[in-house]
Structure 1
């Protein structure tokens, strides 16, 4: 099976500029392609996951990926899917974020010996002469057509800055530069990038009379069409400091029954024949498939050792055991206690288990908080030094969140 057929069978492909030619190119030839990543945070999140998996599949098939980091476009921010303009980042922020992205991406993409390329569009965008750029590139863009694009259309009612309007032109220019520098002939991206990708394909046709291609892939959504990767505590990050391997594992272990097979196809390298076996499962049998999904995805991002630890901790907790060695934990100090006690709500707030005391009270009222298997009923419940006789307590929030609180 060629890589195009593999991506198609996994449900990854959304839109293509020329399906017949792209399929032939990917299945029978070796090409250089790129995907852009704007460094708007200091970690990639699960929304980037499908993009990285596509890069990995393509590389395994012998194609050369370019990971393009937006040192230039990150200064503007992509308006696609945003209701307001992004916060403007400093050069220092962007440089730091790019170094974090590079480290995380290297787990799945082999950048050694020219097998993949890291590029930064700040190298060509930041020193452009504005008038020359508009004369050379801007003349090829119709404002009417740009405003009809989905990435801009939804922003027109709330207000789209001229600053952001430049984003499509800059991203299109990236394709031109990468084609000239690395003979890149294919731009890939999430399906929300379709308008921007078309802009690059058209620019090369107009300026260089070259045929290049664009392809988008499926966004990571639930069966109901909602974006995946969000929890009540925020985004699910690939950085273990932001989302612990245990919490990362638990996120995938708890996906809805309707989403587990789709996630397996998109986010693991499990053979499709093996996934078909899990697809035949129903009811409680699907828990086995969810455990495999969680383990495989955690192994890809955090390594086999962390995946084993997370799996062991989850099995111990949810199998009735209490092995807390690899459980997410927080520390409180003796000085945090007053007269030998501290309010449960203060502890949960410090540990990041609740965003506010109001939310904590609601959880307690609903019977959703336990300490060492004892359900908490009083809103003003206090933990005393006696509770920490073994050095820690385990707080359970809801049915699936466990957190160890260590007293120092």
Structure 2
């Protein structure tokens, strides 16, 4: 098997492909052009998109040159969802998201050199089509019966599906033909839920160009219980630090389950097979050390944000739990860290309140009386300093960045308050 495909297989990044042997031989014969598409349905990419970019990176390492398609036209339509009709976003919003996603995808792959990726936008060719051209030259090649057999369409028939979303597959198939004609693209990659769209495009190119092209999809990443990976209680894990902070991002991967952490490392880390297998051994023999989780969180944060952001995130986590100095954290890192542990408002007047009030307000203890007991028992901390006096007042010097307090009970129960003067 082709070495790139062999590596993707080992990393668990191949769920299905149109003809594995033919694709392997095609890639062995010389560099190919591939493409993967990203529809601008939000201002940022998320973890699921990053999976596709890891495939692109692997193809580049193997000497192949990718096309990165940002769907200026398909983003206006929306791929059918199983749950119901998509809300169409304003045209200007989609245009802004196209620019944002184009900038994001460019950060994760090589854009220069022999294997440099190239950005394309399907609005460039779709916008030139008239309705008659679309129906005569594209629609004529698609069987309604086969379109109805697509899983997502079949699931929507009872609840209803618009012609707009029903026809999405035609637009994506047109993309493949245009990229084949313009760039000689012969491989489309994507997530497993795109398999129907991709195979439709392969068939469309075969019918209209009498050419053999290929498709490959990655499995959907899941947690151990089978639910979708990349979601938290607060929502999607985004690649934009304004939507998911580097601290929250690092913590998300640090909390990966033992049963899945090696799977995630294979997908997202550039570590060698030997390194990952060594980490897998440590998960089996010394799971309490959580070395694989730290490796995953560090590698991911370095890749998506930066080494500096990762260091700030790890310093913040250590400081929150008493293993570092809170005073050295900058205001931005502090803001994201207290948001993750859960920051509560603490109202006060001209005089600053007691530490007991802050402990109770933060939620690390259920009441002021419980706060006094925690202090008496030696288990209460303000900004990592043990509190020994139940009548201790908060001072201006205690306020981190002039506004926050970190409260802790014991080693692991941490909360935060933001002081608000009335």
How far, CA to CA, are the matches of 2:120 and 2:419 in structure 1? 44
Match of 1:314 among 314, 317, 337: 317
Residues 291-344 of structure 1: CA deviation (Å, up to 9, x unaligned): 111000100000111112222322343464453616441799xx995635999x
Instruction: Quote the residue 1:51 is aligned against.
Output: 52
TM-score norm. by structure 1 comes to: 0.84
Contact 1:69 1:98 in 2 (8 A): yes
The aligned counterpart of 1:299 is: 302
Question: Using the alignment, how far apart are the partners of 2:365 and 2:16 within structure 1?
Answer: 44
2:154 corresponds in structure 1 to: 153
Aligned: 1:24 with 2:25: yes
Q: 1:385 to 1:27 in 2, by over 3 A?
A: farther
Q: Is the 8 A contact 2:383 2:405 kept in 1?
A: no
Structure 1 residues 406 and 173, CA, compared in 2 at 3 Å: closer, same or farther? farther
Which residue number in structure 2 is paired with residue 220 of structure 1? Answer: 221
C-alpha separation in 2, matches of 1:400 and 1:78: 43
For 2:302 and 2:220, locate their aligned partners in 1 and report how far apart those are by CA, in whole Å: 22
The corresponding residue for 1:379 is none
Shift of 1:396: 7.0
TM-score (normalised: structure 2): 0.81
Instruction: Measure, in 1, the Cα distance between the counterparts of 2:233 and 2:394.
Output: 30
Provide closer, same or farther for how the CA distance between residues 218 and 371 of structure 1 changes in structure 2, counting only shifts above 3 A.
farther
Q: Secondary structure at the match of 1:33?
A: strand
CA distance in 2, matches of 1:140, 1:262: 40
2:20 is the alignment partner of 1:14: no
Q: What's 1:90 paired with?
A: 90
Which residue among 324, 339, 342 is the counterpart of 2:349?
Answer: 339
Instruction: Indicate if the aligned counterparts of 2:52 and 2:190 stay in contact, CA closer than 8 A.
Output: yes
Q: Distance in 2 between matches of 1:395 and 1:84?
A: 44
Q: 1:329 aligns with which of 331, 335, 345?
A: 335
Contact 2:406 2:414 in 1 (8 A): no
How do 1:223-238 and structure 2 match up within 5 A? Answer: 223-238=224-239
CA 1:84–1:337: 2 relative to 1, 3 Å: same
Contact between 2:364 and 2:413, CA under 8 Å: does it hold in 1? no
Give the C-alpha shift of residue 361 in structure 1: 8.8
Mapped to 2, the partners of 1:218 and 1:102 lie a distance apart of: 24
Structure 2 unaligned residues grouped into runs of 5+: 340-344, 354-361, 371-379, 385-392
Aligned residues: 379
Distance 1:371 1:202, change over 3 A: farther
Match in the other structure for 1:99: 99
Quick one: distance in 2 between partners of 1:189 and 1:110? 19
Report if the CA contact (8 A) 2:71-2:121 is conserved. yes
Q: In the superposition, relative to structure 1, how do residues 403 and 243 fare at CA in structure 2: closer, same or farther (>3 Å)?
A: farther
Aligned residue number for residue 355 of structure 1: none
The answer (yes or no) to whether the contact 1:50–1:219 under 8 Å persists in 2 is no
Q: Distance in 2 between matches of 1:172 and 1:224?
A: 34
SS in structure 2 of the partner of residue 112 of structure 1: coil
Task: State the Cα RMSD in Å.
Answer: 3.3
User: Does the 8 Å contact 1:193/1:216 carry over to 2?
Assistant: yes
Write out per-residue CA displacement over residues 77-113 of structure 1, whole angstroms, 9 at most, x where no aligned residue: 0114x41222212222112112221222222211125
